[in-house]
Amino acid sequence: MPDIIVKPPNLKELWKLLPGLPSARRYLAGGTDIVTADNAGAEHSECWIDISGIPELLGIKETAGSVFIGSGVKIAEIAASKAARRWCPALTAAIPHFASPSLRNMATLGGNAANASPCADGVCALISEGAYVLLATKGGRRRLPLKDIFLGPKRTTLKKDELITGFEVPKRPHAGAYLKLGPRSYFGISKAAVAVAAELSGGAVKKARVALGSVAPVPLYAAKTSAWLAGRKLSAPVIEEACELVKTEVSPITDTRSEAAYRREMCGVLLGRALNSLR
């Protein structure tokens, strides 16, 4: 455990507090990653900044052109949101695959992104939704495509003390699917996961975004497969070819959870199932 835990009531107080805090500090949201790491001896901060009470990070709000999902939104809240169900179908489809009901009531979407695990289900789904991540520091704000902030396992382009305030998903009518292959049907870290968001018109794909989890050092946006699907009818041969193409974009490893060759093969299988479910 850290020496100090502070809990600012809002963003303004957070920025005021920072200069007086020990330099080895980290944000604490739902705690499902950071507390687990602390228990395992892999987390050594002197100070945790509990951001769970900051109102600016909460809620799911619809604006004219987008849906804002606060970084402090719990995974379980997403499934209950009408706006998320309507505009973020791949993200909503990912929720039942995320850990267990108790974990979903603690874990936040912001923590899922900041933790930067290649198997992060929420992130993988959000990337397929074409989401932007909203970042804040004392001095300013940034808005970046979510797919671009990941550098490797547990590494992002976030600066020191930079806070994820939320995510912005552009409102585009589309269909979505999320499929995850794990050791069990539910409650397991994935061997491979596929998220698909597709704008369809008369059986043809206007635009598709395919993202994959656990098969690269980062949650992966499959740029080639996504671009290749655009303008094509979702016929059996097209789906078959997309499944072959996606296997060339991933770079899975062999670890305790699965083998590289099996994971690569499963990317094709999962993408095929996901695309077929949208036909």
Binding site residues, ligand FAD, CB under 6 A: 26-34, 36, 51, 71, 98-99, 103, 106-108, 110-112, 114-115, 120-122, 163-164
Length of the chain: 279
- If the CB atoms of residues 67 and 234 are measured against ligand FAD, the closer one turns out to be 67
What whole-number distance in Å separates Cα of residue 130 and Cα of residue 224? 15
76: phi then psi, degrees, rounded to nearest 5:
-65, -30
Q: In this structure, which amino acid lies at residue 209?
A: R
- If the CB atoms of residues 68 and 200 are measured against ligand FAD, the closer one turns out to be 68
What whole-number distance in Å separates Cα of residue 110 and Cα of residue 88? 16
What whole-number distance in Å separates Cα of residue 46 and Cα of residue 75? 28
Q: How far is the CB of 62 from ligand FAD (least distance, A)?
A: 21
Give bridge partners of residue 135 from the DSSP assignment. Answer: 142, 164
- If the CB atoms of residues 104 and 174 are measured against ligand FAD, the closer one turns out to be 104
Where does residue 56 rank: exposed (0-12), middle (13-18), buried (19+ CB within 10 A)? middle
Q: How far is the CB of 127 from ligand FAD (least distance, A)?
A: 13
CA 194 to centroid of chain Cα atoms: 12
Q: How far is the CB of 138 from ligand FAD (least distance, A)?
A: 14
- If the CB atoms of residues 26 and 232 are measured against ligand FAD, the closer one turns out to be 26
Q: How far is the CB of 233 from ligand FAD (least distance, A)?
A: 33
In this structure, are residues 87 and 65 in contact, taking their beta carbons and an 8 Å threshold?
Answer: no
Q: How far is the CB of 27 from ligand FAD (least distance, A)?
A: 4
- If the CB atoms of residues 97 and 174 are measured against ligand FAD, the closer one turns out to be 97
